[in-house]
Structure 1
């Protein structure tokens, strides 16, 4: 809280760090609902006071879509709205920005203070609510995110000048795991690794995927919110690096008509405070413990209603269709990549779940919050999962339990989220109203848009 003795002590520690580094400027940023970092660069000598007293930010930027297009939920705008700032606290733990000079590269996340509107909407707070629920059950999450992205031989300006049509990929040839292609672009990927080192983000692996110019990066597993922090820093600055190379790196869920979409899979396990993997039971079939079963049961019961947090844009649903190697239900299977929930059996230190639902266009804090929250509800209610799915479950979706199938459209997902008692219990009614309301505003905007595909088909002959 602002003005506390703890904040005074921390302010003194940070002041010493800034003096040691001869820092001139520090960047502060909060995370908006879309997973964008929004902030400002502040003179370093202002930071100790900001740690003690808080720093103001505008919470209503949560009502902005990409490109600052307004997404106004109904009921939030009236004649008395002052668009006031809310105080934020500077979160503990500094990072370094990769493309700034050493006297200006320190970075801190900020979070909206309790009692403010921004606090109710803050994705970092939503994550912390889900994690706190698990902590009451004696469980601590360890998790990692892996992202697929496409690289275009375009800049944002060139893509816009083409009307986002006929965009040139970095390569038109698919080379899954291709070392030759890796070597061709070694300079870019070396700089990507250097960028991560500067931000204290550890990569586990990276490779080319089964599609032209589609790459995948797996970020190393981390405990708690640090996994989401790593993910947001990686997504933000990988796009920066690409632009500095006159390239366009995209995390859009499905940017191409004739190719699969781009995923943002999550690997996770739960540990006790002593580090024992709660998902592993050496005596059980496939090593699946009771805790793991109940966690899977929670995912099956609640992820269909929470899907909006894992598919937050109208384009997200162009990825979640049968036949495009993306799940269409919260079904589960043993090492089955056609399921939404892939159980990966292993030793006590590796048994885990891979949730394959989210696209790469997502906010990592909200993805993890939804998964952990749903799993916690399953553990609390001792929910049992349905039977494990075998083979390719996308060949006949009708064989999947209706209760586990995902909403078939963006609109349906919004309605189910807004009406979800689980979402309101986990994240609060104000968060559900804001997040659902901004998504509904996006849906209304796109419902009025006329696409080039419509013009091509109907303009002359209809």
Structure 2
């Protein structure tokens, strides 16, 4: 049986038995989009397919460095870190190509923990869309830098003087992708084999930077594909003695790394609700309202997109990253880019996102804010012509400049609470506040160079 044909618990049991597996891999994605998981014995897996299993809820109560939050209610020392129930998702079955016949299944939190589960929050937003009569298609594209380094070498170097896989400015380079054709083929084959097929793959401008666009799918499946792409690209790189980073910006000398999201809405009959042949830019009223909601709520919801302290080093003028909540038609200087054309191609590119996103939370934000715009019939105004960096916008279009500020805006957002629920908003905002407080403990190289001698 092909793993991509698994749909039910019975299918999952059958493929495990057919492959003679004693164990399978189970993974969940945490608040930061990091995959946490384990090998699970076959008999336990079969039982868990029916009734779920307990997974220590500390993965919802610690950061990307496994440090425990001191400001969340969902879990902590006050709850003694109990198990939270998790459901296995048979339809997410994947073969793991470098582990023989091994299979991977994704899972998601249920019960009380479901309120803060990243996959759960996206599911709730998509249910809202379905209740409105819409189906959402989405896709992600990521830029990432590749290094001839290992987890040990980068630490030994204190993350300085790292060796990129290739040097120089070589955007869309046939030279670079031909010299390293084996790596490109390996990554393309990985995507095909693990059901996150790559639509396009090319070098970007900068040393060792690559961009991959993942084939579109229904939005929940698209988020699975994006999260798995990030995880297994890093795994594949490390298995060959390299490293990939999806930081928003790893160096002040190079542009940041985008994680742009594409999305479109269709009706029950499959027809596009974004396309109107008679309208300017073929944008239907529904599409205009969707864009209006995204633009209006972007300053309030930014922490769900710009989710790390590092995210905000990318959001500066002139570096291919938006600095205001604005939109334009085929305009890459705007936060929202409208791609117009045929009913099949009419879509929105959510360009504010960087490669460091948690795909589930980022898509929940981008789609949820658009649905909110439809519900409230928010018109976005006129599109921005030309260079958005050179234009002035109303203060309400301005974006928070720090993660802490963005988390505070999220806490105060009535729309966020309506879209995502109080439990998620309170928990997520607390985790972002924690992230910035951890950063404030650091003494950076910039501070040492600026103040050590002269002050």
* TM-score interval for Structure 1 and Structure 2 normalised by the shorter chain: over 0.9
1:223 is aligned to 218
The answer to whether the 8 A contact 1:174-1:213 is kept is: no
Map of 1:118-197 to 2, 5 A cutoff? Answer: 118-197=113-192
Could you tell me how far 1:309 is from its partner in structure 2?
0.7
Change (3 A) 1:71 1:321: farther
CA distance in 2, matches of 1:106, 1:229: 16
1:97 is aligned to 96
Change (3 A) 1:217 1:78: closer
- Unaligned stretches of 5+ residues in structure 2: 1-6
1:65 is aligned to 63
Could you tell me how far 1:173 is from its partner in structure 2?
1.0
Could you tell me how far 1:426 is from its partner in structure 2?
1.0
Change (3 A) 1:383 1:258: same
Aligned length, in residue pairs: 448
**C-alpha offsets along residues 22-48 of structure 1, whole Å, 9 cap, x if unaligned?**
222111111100001111111123222
2:305 is aligned to 310
SS of 2:86 mapped into structure 1: strand
**C-alpha offsets along residues 124-144 of structure 1, whole Å, 9 cap, x if unaligned?**
011011111111111111110
SS of 1:216 mapped into structure 2: strand
| Residue of structure 2 aligned with 1:267, choices 262, 265, 277 | 262
Map of 1:279-358 to 2, 5 A cutoff? Answer: 279-358=274-353
The answer to whether the 8 A contact 1:27-1:41 is kept is: yes
1:442 aligns with 2:439: no
The answer to whether the 8 A contact 1:253-1:319 is kept is: yes
- Unaligned stretches of 5+ residues in structure 1: 1-8
1:21 is aligned to 19
Change (3 A) 1:76 1:281: closer
1:411 aligns with 2:410: no
1:258 aligns with 2:257: no
The answer to whether the 8 A contact 1:72-1:438 is kept is: no
CA distance in 1, matches of 2:34, 2:20: 29
Could you tell me how far 1:77 is from its partner in structure 2?
6.9
Superposed CA RMSD: 1.5
CA distance in 1, matches of 2:77, 2:390: 53
The answer to whether the 8 A contact 2:61-2:76 is kept is: no
**C-alpha offsets along residues 244-271 of structure 1, whole Å, 9 cap, x if unaligned?**
1211110000000111100000111101
Could you tell me how far 1:10 is from its partner in structure 2?
4.3
1:83 is aligned to 81
1:37 is aligned to 35
The answer to whether the 8 A contact 1:172-1:213 is kept is: yes
CA distance in 2, matches of 1:13, 1:412: 47
SS of 2:65 mapped into structure 1: helix
TM-score where L is the length of structure 1: 0.94
CA distance in 2, matches of 1:106, 1:153: 29
SS of 2:79 mapped into structure 1: coil
2:4 is aligned to none
TM-score where L is the length of structure 2: 0.95
CA distance in 1, matches of 2:453, 2:277: 67
